[in-house]
Structure formats: C-alpha cells, structure tokens
Amino acid sequence: MKRTGPILEVKNISKDFGTVKAIDNLSLTLEQGKILGVVGDNGAGRTTLLNILNGCLQPSGGSIYLKGKEVQFRSPADAMKMGIAIVYQSQELIDIAAIWENFFMGRELTRKMGPFAYLDIAKMKHLTEETITKYGHTFDIEREIGELSGGQRQIIMVTRAIQANPEILLLDEPTHGLSERVIRDIFDILRKAKKEKDTSIIITSQWYEQISAFVDDVIVLRRGKIAGQFDEQSADKAKIFKLAMGLAT
C-alpha cells in the first residue's frame, strides 16, 4: 500500500554560524513522490538547508520528522541509512578513477569466499553500466572521470545517487552551468526515477526559471527565511523573482 501524507517535515529549523543566522525558524513539508523546488539568491540558505537534511550540519534548533517520526541525522552516512541521498553542485568525483569506481566510491560491493571478503568488481561494473543505460545514456565505464564534460559528470552523479535507491533525493544546484540539453536529460532521468521508484525530491536553484517545468511546489528563501510558497498552479515567475531578490514581500 502506498504511503500517504508527508514523507519529510521540517519544523522551525534554525542554523547559526556565530552571529549569522543562515536558516531562521524555517518549516517545510515534502509530500511522498513530489518534487519541491527551493529557490533564492546567493546567501538565501539553500545549501545550508540541504546540508542539514543530509546530516552534514546539525541544526541549532528545530525538529525534523521522517514518515512522522522525529529523527536526527548525525552524518551523511546516517542520513543515507534512513533513505536520504544528495547530489552536490560541486560534482564531488575522483578525476583519476574510472566511472564504475566513482559509482560505488564509499559503498563498494563485496563477495565472500570462505572467511574472506573481496571486492565484487564484476557486479559493480555491471550495475554501473546497467543503471546508466536504463536512464538513457551510454558511457565507457572504464573511462576516467577527468575525461568527461561537466554535463556528463553531472549525469554520472545523478544516476549514481538514484542507484543507491534513496526515498528522498536532494539536489544542490544540479543545473548550474549546464546547457539546456543536459538539463533536460537530467530532468528526464529524475522524472523516470520519480515514476518508477516514487522518489521524493528537493532541488535547489538560484533561478526558478531553470526548474519551473520540473517541480510540483516551490518555496522562496530570503536570508534564511521562507519569503513565499507556491504550488504548480499558483507559481508566478515574476513574483518569485521579486521575492528572491527582496523586491517584494
């Protein structure tokens, strides 16, 4: 039976860095199988919010609820165990490692032979190629990441995160610096994951226009606070832009 109601609730979260309040008493809800956009100008708190939801940062106050149960993410590994994965804008891949090695970096698969465990290289290569192909792309998985373009690297990052089968996928500025064609490719991958796996997604962007055709709902952050919140029908690009820039209230 499909679960109904919010998969994630954030209630009155704050994050202070000394005297700077990066997130200020913020509350949001992510519905099961929905895509939530988070937009705002530089310094709005977009990445800080995702880092809290990913366990990279601990909130200064407030609560997080996952499937109705209050949780604490003490590390990214902790969040991953609870079904939350993240794709960063910075494309954190190892240039001198092959695509398949990057795909399973930090979560390598092993097989046992007697009392010993060995890396299951054949299975990791197979799953890497299978996943990338499933989402409409073809790569020589033996190629080093350093040989790929920025768009190709981002496709690897997104498909790698999906292969880990998270219930919630966080994406920090995944469209930044990419061509419209690559952005469409990435959105197609994410839509397929949403349809097949019922993945819930939070995606950040400085500009609403880049994600407007993709998200179900959007919140606008301004200096760590929610300046506006819209569903797909009520979202107005001009209004959202003005809220993000502090030109409207």
Query: Which residues, given as ranges, of the chain have pLDDT below 50?
Result: none
- The pLDDT value recorded for residue 9 is 95
Q: With respect to residue 79, please indicate whether it lies within any of the assigned structural domains.
A: yes
Q: With respect to residue 190, please indicate whether it lies within any of the assigned structural domains.
A: yes
Q: With respect to residue 102, please indicate whether it lies within any of the assigned structural domains.
A: no
Q: With respect to residue 146, please indicate whether it lies within any of the assigned structural domains.
A: no
Three-state SS for 231?
strand
- The pLDDT value recorded for residue 63 is 95
Contact 55, 73 (CB under 8 A): yes
pTM of the model: 0.90
- The pLDDT value recorded for residue 202 is 95
Angle at 198 between CA 195 and CA 201, to 5 degrees: 100
Nearest to 128, CA basis, from 101, 108, 109, 100: 100
- The pLDDT value recorded for residue 4 is 65
Q: With respect to residue 171, please indicate whether it lies within any of the assigned structural domains.
A: yes
Residue pointed to by tokens 């790569």: 139
Report d(CA 163, CA 160) in Å as an integer.
Answer: 5
Domain at 198, CATH number: 3.40.50.300
**Count of positions (residues) in the chain:** 249
What tokens does 199 get? 């993945």
- The pLDDT value recorded for residue 244 is 87
- The pLDDT value recorded for residue 3 is 55
Report d(CA 66, CA 72) in Å as an integer.
Answer: 10
- The pLDDT value recorded for residue 27 is 94
Query: At 155, phi and psi to the nearest 5?
Result: -65, -40
Count how many domains the chain has.
1
pLDDT digits (tens, 9 = 90+) for 51-64: 999 999 999 999 99
pLDDT digits (tens, 9 = 90+) for 137-189: 999 999 999 999 888 998 999 999 998 889 999 999 888 888 888 888 999 99
Domain that residue 37 falls in = 6-92+167-244
